[in-house]
Amino acid sequence: MVNILLLAGPGCGWGAILLGGVFKFVLQSDDNDMTWYQAFTLGSILSATDPVAVVLKELGASLAFNHLFEGEALLNDDVAMVFFIFFNKFSKAQSGKGEAFTSSQVVINFIRNSLVRSVLGKVLGRLAALWTKRILEMICQFIKFI
């Protein structure tokens, strides 16, 4: 679990920053100068590694390695979304289209986006599981009745 969290959290963050750096230098032109925050926003969109998990599964990688990348792919989308929101807000603030904010607001926003969404997902998942269980029990009772 620790390896999955390290790949999904800091791994996705470093991927977004490295991809953003590449995009800053590759896509930079005289007509359209991309800011660093715009480049990092684009990098955060493309830093999710879901296709890697699918390819490794198709290639027949070891079960432990496959579980590592599947678990990382599950968490990676959420982390990439948090980084996208973070860099997008900075980009809007820099261009004058959004509000400027302090570093404490960034930390609070990051915690709120990561923790609150995780708790909300767990609660909604439990409700969906209970609802599915109830439906299956009703179907079983109906089959017994017939």
Q: 96: left (phi > 0), else alpha (psi -120 to 50), else beta? A: left
Q: Tens place of pLDDT for every residue, the chain, 146 residues? A: 777 777 777 888 888 889 999 988 887 766 667 888 888 888 888 887 666 767 777 777 777 877 777 777 777 777 888 788 888 888 888 877 877 777 788 778 777 877 787 788 899 999 999 999 999 888 887 777 76
Burial class for 53, CB neighbours closer than 10 Å (0-12, 13-18, 19+): buried
User: What is the DSSP-derived secondary structure letter of residue 32?
Assistant: S
Report the distance separating Cα 119 and Cα 63, nearest Å. Answer: 29
